[in-house]
Structure 1
Amino acid sequence: MSPLSPALFPALAEAQADPDGPGSHRPALRFGDRSVTYGELAATASPLAARVAEAGRIAVWATPTLETAVAVVAALLAGVPAVPLNPKSGESELGHIVSDSAPTLVLAAPGTQLPPALAALERVDIDVDVAVDINVRGRGTASPDPGTLETPALIVYTSGTTGPPKGAVIPRRAIATTLDALADAWQWTGDDVLVHGLPLFHVHGLILGILGPLRRGGSVRHLGRFETAGVARELSEGATMLFGVPTMYHRIAETLPDDPALAKALARARLLVSGSAALPVHDHERIAQATGRRVIERYGMTETLMNTSVRADGEPRAGTVGVPLPGVELRLTEEDGTTAVEAYDGETVGEIQVRGPNLFTEYLNRPEATAAAFTEDGWFRTGDMAVRDPDGYVRIVGRKATDLIKSGGYKIGAGEIENALLEHPGVREAAVTGEPDADLGERIVAWIVPADPQSPPTVEELADHVASRLAPHKRPRVVHHLDALPRNDMGKIMKRALTHD
């Protein structure tokens, strides 16, 4: 499939053109007990696309529902940028996003109560069930002109860890090329049926999890909310792929010993994919041992969509995010941001920079931030630190801002220490940070959720454990015991919330 075609969803375009054709009856989206075929999706999304075509920008109240998927598809058919809104965002954050992106409409499911921050926007209710009933027998409704591949498709707001969230403007070109590159890497076809329970306001759940199957002409079954029983049911009833984040796979790993039906269902899957954060090696191994299937990881971010992945026909090596996707250039650089790290030794740490058609266009209304994000020769500075193995596999060791620890003359990535700590039987969860040290520059600090709070592992025990697996200079010097690690909606550990107070 050529990304040069303006049709992001060829199967949907076919259903629009021929409502009685065989492709119109193929299942497209299913959320719980509600579903639409490609013909029904075309009959629902096309009139909505005509309704919003002159809107400028639209906001989508991105609940994990059929209505959200239809709203985003309609916006893409109309060539109108959609701004997915996280329903869990606070008033201040929502107010900033609405003010910054200036949508004229907000699309939501009927009966949904919207917060005051959206009160000034004209509301359009999406009643999928009524729309299907009214329109499905009509001849295909022509969609507005979707624009070119550089036309903005989505404005997705970053997490805002260092300031107010920034709106990454994602063009149609980036969506098409990323999804086609993943099709190559994962051998993803229209015969695949994807199951996931991810939120729909970010790249993983929305672009990969909803738009990905639609671009292939396949189908997606969304769980509404993640449950291991739902995963087992869908994989046992024909689903071929599972997308999840590490917290989901951790729950799967914890459940497997007492749930043979789940193990059997996972063993049937063609592909198990984890992303949005690193999946601990011990969860990899527990799932592989119970199911005979290995989870593969990919690496991307809002501004770049997907950069690398373990390929379906490659080695599913735990702790790595595979190799660069087709069309993506990737390099590691020294701290100066320009000197390339040439080593493929699995040890030399550098910042990941990427270049390719998968990149966003700009940060909305932030020209200075956009300029600062790129090098003079067009490479995007990801802020992620990694090493490369001799065969080119990339291993991410942490974020430059929070996970690169300079101790005793060494540059150390927090991620590999966290994986080593998680291999200790007394550790349930782990995070690693650095703190100033007069002698070492920085000392390594471990934040531990013990498996048994009444008998937590000691700093000496954990230091010896890490030193024996990695190297003595990577051992933690300080250990804090916690009841739980602070995490965001995607399950990522919020290290800035870890304090000594």
Structure 2
Amino acid sequence: MPATLLTALSEARDDAAPLVTVGDDTLTREELVGAAAAVADRISGAERVAIDARADVKTVVAVVGCLLAGVAAVPVPPDSGGRELQHILADSGAELWLGDPRPGLPIPSVPIDPSRRSATVRPEPPADAPALIVYTSGTTGAPKGVVLPRRAIAASVDGLARAWDWTPGDRLVHGLPLFHVHGLVLGVLGALRIGSPLVHTVRPTPDRYAAAQGTLYFGVPTVWSRVCAEPAAARALSSARLLVSGSAPLPVPVFEDLVALTGSAPIERYGMSETVITISTRVDGERRPGWVGLPLDGVRTRLRTESGELAPHDGETLGQLEIAGPTLFSGYLNNPVKTAETMTPDGWFRTGDIAVVDRGGFHRIVGRESVDMIKSGGYRIGAGEVEHALLAHPGVREAAVVGEPDADLGQRIVAYVVGDNPDTTAIIDFVAASLSVHKRPREVRVVDSLPRNEMGKVQKKALLAD
């Protein structure tokens, strides 16, 4: 095979050793290449295809098949409700569904059989060709398709490899979902570019992490909180080289518990679907609780005050974080207006996050510019999308969704609704059936009215202050 984005697949290796393990299923390098090439044969000529992104070896085969064929992969959360699924399929223009058939699919299904093989070899697509279209919730409305080119994935993974000394000698372990940047781009494509064997535990439970015997572990704060709650499992990770936390801020008590139980301070890093990973602490550098470290090689960051001036890097002044570099997305699919809104005239991406940077370049993420982006259990959830689902319920007249602090999830989704004696349990089930299950409210509070300003906008800070 020619050299590819997934470098490990093009290099001669011990093909008897498993390269990918998901649950009880394993694939060697040769088996993965052959199975993915068979998928590439079947989808060749398509522009975009959707993937039923379950925690299954079939998802890995499907994604790699798309990359070999130069077809943009659209990973779909396996718990997507009907409305969310239809939006993703329609907005992406996906021509095929890779996975088992689902009722009501408007496009043909292509089942994935990891035992199939092909020897077809294809040229490497251009570096700017779309690799993935990842759907991410905005603060309002339906999810947006983030177009990630091949060069963005390569640049981020290579930067992390240098920051973490990530090598083929590592054994990567995680149990994160395979439809977003953390679990799929870092946790699968990163391993296949670096060449480190991957063990996906299907679910990121403390006992499965403890049994996996990895050198490099990925988790979100919720995972690490649960690991620390089981000291025996946490101590079993003391032989690991690195424990990496991301997708949401790691609470300082969890950071300190990991140090006490494993003898190693966790690595924290920062990124978004639109930027992949851009900032991280280093394997040989300081690991400061509450701080995410330094920009990766080739990445530049800056802060802007509310007045638009550049903010000083003094460790105290808050600013809107902007990022430039090779890891940036190509834009939002079918949404040039939104893409333009997020880019500065000189080509920097407006992250929407508030941060501080100290004199040494260390970054601390303070929070979102808007209260409408909720991070719960490692997921980024747009309040507006949940509100739209709530308002479709016949018993709900008005709705506002906020994220409240939660020791386990980071934030839990809380919905305030106005209606005529609505059944709160039924409302939660209604949202879970319409959207992904992880987007359901954990609590519904019935109120007589929502606080609004003179323009009619709900004042969510007032709800959070109650």
Band the TM-score falls in, shorter-chain normalisation: 0.7 to 0.9
Q: Which one-letter code corresponds to 2:49 in the other structure?
A: I
CA apart distance, 1:70: 0.7
Q: Find the counterpart in structure 1 of residue 85 from structure 2.
A: 94
Instruction: Find the residue that maps to 2:38 and give its secondary structure.
Output: helix
- Conserved 8 A contact 1:49-1:143: no
User: Matches of residues 215-254 of structure 1 in structure 2 within 5 Å?
Assistant: 215-235=193-213, 239-254=214-229
Q: Which one-letter code corresponds to 1:231 in the other structure?
A: Y
Q: Which ranges in structure 1 are unaligned for 5 or more consecutive residues? A: 16-21, 405-413, 416-444, 452-485
TM-score by length of 1: 0.74
CA pair 149-166 structure 1, distance change in 2 beyond 3 A: same
Q: Find the counterpart in structure 1 of residue 150 from structure 2.
A: 172
2:190 to 206, 209, 212: 212
Q: Distance in 2 between matches of 1:446 and 1:196?
A: 26
Q: Find the counterpart in structure 1 of residue 264 from structure 2.
A: 293
Instruction: Find the residue that maps to 1:54 and give its secondary structure.
Output: coil
Q: Find the counterpart in structure 1 of residue 254 from structure 2.
A: 283
Q: Distance in 2 between matches of 1:492 and 1:391?
A: 40
1:51 to 42, 48, 71: 42
CA pair 491-200 structure 1, distance change in 2 beyond 3 A: farther
Q: Which one-letter code corresponds to 1:350 in the other structure?
A: G
CA pair 496-114 structure 1, distance change in 2 beyond 3 A: farther
Q: Distance in 1 between matches of 2:441 and 2:240?
A: 25
CA pair 363-493 structure 1, distance change in 2 beyond 3 A: farther
User: Matches of residues 32-431 of structure 1 in structure 2 within 5 Å?
Assistant: 32-108=23-99, 112=100, 114-116=102-104, 119-128=105-114, 130-131=115-116, 135=117, 141-235=119-213, 239-256=214-231, 259=232, 262-336=233-307, 338-342=308-312, 344-402=313-371
Instruction: Find the residue that maps to 2:15 and give its secondary structure.
Output: helix
Q: Distance in 1 between matches of 2:300 and 2:265?
A: 26
Equivalent pairs counted in the alignment come to: 397
RMSD after superposition:
2.9
Q: Distance in 1 between matches of 2:121 and 2:133?
A: 21
Q: Distance in 2 between matches of 1:351 and 1:299?
A: 15
Instruction: Note the alpha carbon deviations across 1:269-289, whole angstroms, 9 max, x for none.
Output: 100000000010011111111
Q: Distance in 2 between matches of 1:29 and 1:398?
A: 35
- Conserved 8 A contact 2:3-2:10: no
CA pair 490-310 structure 1, distance change in 2 beyond 3 A: farther
Q: Distance in 1 between matches of 2:145 and 2:407?
A: 38
Instruction: Note the alpha carbon deviations across 1:109-153, whole angstroms, 9 max, x for none.
Output: xxx45242xx2211111111x32xxx3xxxx71333342000000
Q: Distance in 2 between matches of 1:490 and 1:243?
A: 22
Q: Distance in 2 between matches of 1:403 and 1:312?
A: 34
Instruction: Find the residue that maps to 1:209 and give its secondary structure.
Output: helix
CA apart distance, 1:264: 3.1
- Conserved 8 A contact 2:6-2:192: yes
CA apart distance, 1:496: 6.6
Instruction: Find the residue that maps to 1:398 and give its secondary structure.
Output: strand
Q: Which one-letter code corresponds to 1:252 in the other structure?
A: V
Q: Find the counterpart in structure 1 of residue 449 from structure 2.
A: none
Instruction: Find the residue that maps to 1:24 and give its secondary structure.
Output: coil
Q: Distance in 2 between matches of 1:81 and 1:113?
A: 20
Q: Distance in 2 between matches of 1:104 and 1:208?
A: 26
Report the identity percentage. Answer: 47
- Conserved 8 A contact 2:228-2:234: no
Whichever of the two has the greater Rg, that structure is 1
- Conserved 8 A contact 1:213-1:219: yes
CA pair 496-122 structure 1, distance change in 2 beyond 3 A: farther
- Conserved 8 A contact 1:80-1:146: no
Instruction: Note the alpha carbon deviations across 1:443-495, whole angstroms, 9 max, x for none.
Output: xx9956699xxxxxxxxxxxxxxxxxxxxxxxxxxxxxxxxxx9984999999
CA apart distance, 1:499: 5.7
- Conserved 8 A contact 1:308-1:324: yes
CA apart distance, 1:93: 1.4
Q: Distance in 1 between matches of 2:147 and 2:72?
A: 9
Q: Which one-letter code corresponds to 1:10 in the other structure?
A: T
CA pair 40-446 structure 1, distance change in 2 beyond 3 A: closer
Q: Distance in 2 between matches of 1:220 and 1:490?
A: 28
Q: Which one-letter code corresponds to 1:205 in the other structure?
A: G
CA pair 493-346 structure 1, distance change in 2 beyond 3 A: farther
Q: Distance in 2 between matches of 1:202 and 1:489?
A: 13
CA pair 203-114 structure 1, distance change in 2 beyond 3 A: same
Q: Distance in 2 between matches of 1:44 and 1:323?
A: 39
Q: Distance in 2 between matches of 1:158 and 1:271?
A: 28
Instruction: Find the residue that maps to 1:25 and give its secondary structure.
Output: coil
Q: Distance in 2 between matches of 1:158 and 1:450?
A: 24
CA pair 448-181 structure 1, distance change in 2 beyond 3 A: closer
Instruction: Note the alpha carbon deviations across 1:229-287, whole angstroms, 9 max, x for none.
Output: 1111012xxx111100011011011111xx2xx23321101000000000100111111
- Conserved 8 A contact 1:273-1:295: yes
- Conserved 8 A contact 2:167-2:194: yes
**Larger relative contact order (CA 8 Å, sep ≥ 6):** 2
Q: Which one-letter code corresponds to 1:197 in the other structure?
A: G
Instruction: Note the alpha carbon deviations across 1:44-71, whole angstroms, 9 max, x for none.
Output: 1112112111122100000010000110
- Conserved 8 A contact 1:198-1:226: yes
Q: Distance in 1 between matches of 2:222 and 2:439?
A: 8
Q: Distance in 2 between matches of 1:276 and 1:491?
A: 19
- Conserved 8 A contact 1:57-1:104: yes
